Amino acid sequence: MKRAVSAMVLTGLGLSATMAGAGEKVAMPDPAASWNTLWHHVLLDLFIIGIIFLAAGLYWVWKYRATRPNQIGEGPKLSKIAAISFAVVPSFLFMADDFFLAAKGWTVWNEYRNVPRNAMEVKVTGSMWSWNFEYENGVTTSFVVDSKEGEGLVVPLGKPVVLRMTSTDVVHSFFLPDYRVKEDLMPGRVTYLWFNPSKTGETLATCAEFCGNRHSFMWTKVKVVPQAEFDVWVAKQKQGAGA
Amino acid sequence: MSTASSGFKLSEWIFTTDHKRIGILYLIGSIAAFAVAGIMALLIRIEQSAPGPTIVSDAFTGGDQYNVWLYFHGAAMILGFLIPGLTGFAANYLLPLMIGAKDVAFPRINALSVWLFWAGIVVALLTFIVPDKPDIMWTGYPPYSVNTAGNTALYVFTVHLMGFSSILAAVNFLVTIIYMRAPGMGWNQLNMFVWSCFTALIIQLIFVPVLASAVTLLLFDRYLGTHFFDPANGGDVLLYQNLFWFYSHPAVYVIFLPAMGIFYEIFATMAKNPIFNYKAAVYGGMCFIVLISGEVWVHHLYYSGMPDWLRIGQMVTTLMISVPVGLMTISLFGTLYKGAITFNIPMYYGTAALYLLLIGGLTGIPLAMTVMSVHLGETSFTHAHFHFIMGIFATFAVFAGVDFWFPKISGKMLNVSQGKLGFWFNFIGVNITFWPLFIIGVEGMPRRYWDYSQFPAHFAGYHKVATIGAFIVAIGMVLTISNWIISAIKGEKAPNNPWGSNSLEWTHTATPPGPGNFPKPVTVDADWTPYNYK
Ligand code: HEM
Ligand SMILES: [Cu+2]
Ligand SMILES: [Cu+2]
């Protein structure tokens, strides 16, 4: 995961998106980039609401200090109409913001859940404590945590990858921090996620659902390579398996 | 205590049916749970201060040790500290006093509740004694909790005991509030704290049985060989998660509502103001939360493999929670408007609460959005979010509440400078602890990890800062709790109504209140409210 993560520049909580930085750019839905954009909008939204309330609260706390002993507050007694307005108007404002966020969230969510037709499928099996991958062409790889042996997940640049995932034992979760996505794996069900490998290099996937003793170590390398290099790699894997 | 007419007798406490003593027994138990769980938090934080083994012995058994601390910390903080501290201690001590009742409806059932709670604490503490220590998380997800060598039964029995205790308490207090209000006291004249408990206890009564059944099925799977959660034999892993969160999301309101209730009381009293837009906060806020609390649990399962339409549907319902919470927030802030605010220890916590409520509440919004939580969920961003709202806001409510009612409960005044010093340690400490975790959470730091060497090296720096913060909080907590103990023994004698409140527990009872609470029966007239300062 050679520090692709650390390429993310952090300005306070405002995270700047550098996902599609290096490498060849490919015109294709890029859920991770959409996530980053949405994140900035959400932060701005929260920041505005937070500042308004905090400023009002702190200003009042300071302004309405008692100045003499036994002073009584002058808080307003609301008329019926004022009381109703103070309930209805903010409710509609909150709801408007909710629906705004929900609509934006849903749009990006659709990107997350609609797997592009040309996606390459890889079967993922999580076990205590290793990740195993099986490609459509029969190639299998894995990553064993204790020995750090295995290729992990290798994918070609610019081709969407859909992971069909299940678990042999307990609940795990395949979390790709750089691609802003995770989905749980469990016995008895097949779940999926897809991502768009938009940048060459190594990144990591790590388990995000508690799975016992070695949960913290349950990660795997995820390597994005140019298509040509990927084809060579596949050929080599097949040969290795054949020999 | 004046309820103990002739000094301290242990048997009087053990066999007591007085709601005030039962409340104090709840307080002692929950503070004990808080202390032990707090020590676990420190161990967790030390371990996380650097990648690789810090205090665990080695990489291979490290998880086994760490997971026990984390199990105990989570389970004890929620089940042993916050719920019993709010709907146990505070509700017990205050509800009958605030509504002008002599005691609760069923005093002996009340005694049973508190001892069930204590039994739950004892069973939880067995964690440290048994050889097969529970190593599940407080969420207890199968198949892990069924397959592990750790002792899942201790978890299940703790939930059972705490659960029965809180169901009994809920029935008891709901009946008390409905039938035992002082003559003349209408629903719109109730204290905000009474309303907050009323609504919280309805939620508790509806949802605790769901949790109890979920963990019971877990017990059957584990020890009787049933297959409720075992897909290889027709069961379903997700069934448990749905049942668990069907309770455990509403449970956050069982904590949040009374915490808000306490701050309403403090704000109104210290600002000598009526509650701003009382009815909007009560009906549009608290009652509305009861209605929707059961329709949002899937936000804990956004990436668990639930159907897509359900994830989207519950994103909308979850975001809608901002309406009742927003109305309550406006009412809380508005109560300060044109007030005459006195600053003392409870109001210090109150002022901090304004900020904590905003940070905790607003960071919940991205987590409510399905697609945002697909990255942020199960990271230390989530961890910092729920600590801001539960671990700090609600915990500060318990502390502020004890400080606020301390003169009434003990008949003594707190040491003010020690209390304020404790506050500053607590407040500064929690910010130093949890802000770094927000930041690395966004970068992908998963929660429940004791080692994170696969992540960029700068994570360690953030973790170190967080650990320093936790120790600052620990100092603040020691200052705060020791202040209670020392002041209860040799504090200055408290006047009857030191804050000049208009609420019945201050105006109509002795300090501390004697058996039967009110020297003569209370009646209130139509224009009485606890907040009528004019
Ligand atoms: C300032 C004092 C506290 C500190 C320093 C602290 C620290 C921590 C830490 C380090 C974790 C583990 C994070 C991980 O490994 O992912 C944790 C988990 C947790 N804490 Fe706290 N905590 C504090 C107070 C509280 C309080 C008052 C509550 C009450 C609600 C609470 C509830 C929880 C819960 C529910 C978990 C999750 C356990 C789990 O993952 O199963 N904490 N805390
Ligand atoms: Cu795991
Ligand atoms: Cu929830």
Give me the residue spans of the domains in chain A.
2-65+76-113, 120-242
Mean pLDDT of A82-98: 95
Question: Could you report the predicted ipTM of this complex, rounded to two decimals?
Answer: 0.91
Q: Which of B363, B448, B427 is nearest to A13 (CA)?
A: B363
- Given a cut of 70, whether residue A23 has pLDDT beyond it is no
What pLDDT is recorded for position B394?
A: 97
Residue B531 lies in a domain: no
What pLDDT is recorded for position B6?
A: 55
Residue B431 lies in a domain: yes
Query: Consecutive 10-residue runs of chain B (534 residues): their mean pLDDT?
Result: 60 90 96 97 96 88 92 94 95 96 94 96 94 92 92 93 94 96 95 97 94 93 92 92 93 95 97 95 96 92 91 92 95 95 96 96 95 96 96 96 96 96 97 97 95 94 97 97 96 93 94 91 92 88
Spatial contact of B106 and B172, defined as CB atoms under 8 Å apart: yes
Contact B456 A206 (CB under 8 A): no
What pLDDT is recorded for position A242?
A: 55
* Alpha-carbon gap: B300 to the closest alpha carbon of chain A (Å): 12
Ligand 1: does its nearest atom lie under 6 Å from the Cβ of B504?
no
The whole-angstrom separation of Cα A169 and Cα A186 is 7
Contact A101 B365 (CB under 8 A): yes
Residue B4 lies in a domain: no
Task: Say what the pTM is.
Answer: 0.91
Instruction: List all residues of chain B from 360 to 419 with a beta carbon under 8 Å from chain A.
Output: 362-363, 365-366, 369-372, 374-375, 377-379
Residue B1 lies in a domain: no
- pLDDT-derived band at A55 (thresholds 50, 70, 90) equals very high
In CATH terms, the fold of domain A120-242 is Immunoglobulin-like (2.60.40)
The whole-angstrom separation of Cα A155 and Cα A112 is 18
The DSSP result for chain A, as a single string, is -TTTGGGSEEETTEEEP-TT-SS----S--HHHHHHHHHHHHHHHHHHHHHHHHHHHHHHHHHTB--STT----PPPPPHHHHHHHHHHHHHHHHHHHHHHHHHHHHHHHHHHS--TTPEEEEEEEETTEEEEEETTS-EEEEETTTTBS--EEEETTS-EEEEEEESSS-EEEEEGGGTEEEEE-TT--EEEEE---S-EEEEEEE-S--STTGGG-EEEEEEE-HHHHHHHHHHHHHHHH-
What pLDDT is recorded for position A2?
A: 35
Residue B498 lies in a domain: yes
What pLDDT is recorded for position A135?
A: 94
- Given a cut of 90, whether residue A103 has pLDDT beyond it is yes
What pLDDT is recorded for position A19?
A: 37
User: Which atom in ligand 1 lies closest to the alpha carbon of residue B395?
Assistant: 27
Q: How many domains does chain B have?
A: 1
Ligand 1: does its nearest atom lie under 6 Å from the Cβ of B474?
no
Across the interface, of A10, A105, A187, the residue whose CB is closest to B369 is A105
- Quick one: closest CA in A to B438, which residue? A13
Domain assignment of residue B362, given as a range: 10-507
Query: Which residues in chain B have their CB less than 8 angstroms from residue A109's CB?
Result: 308, 311-312, 370-371
- pLDDT-derived band at A27 (thresholds 50, 70, 90) equals low
Instruction: List all residues of chain B from 213 to 232 with a beta carbon under 8 Å from chain A.
Output: 231-232
- Given a cut of 90, whether residue A17 has pLDDT beyond it is no
B141 touches A at CB < 8 Å: yes
Ligand 1: does its nearest atom lie under 6 Å from the Cβ of B395?
yes
The residue with greater pLDDT, A8 or B47, is B47
What pLDDT is recorded for position A150?
A: 85
Write the CATH number for B368. 1.20.210.10
Look at the block and give the residue holding tokens 């592990």: B148
What pLDDT is recorded for position A13?
A: 35
Residue B305 lies in a domain: yes
- Given a cut of 80, whether residue A3 has pLDDT beyond it is no
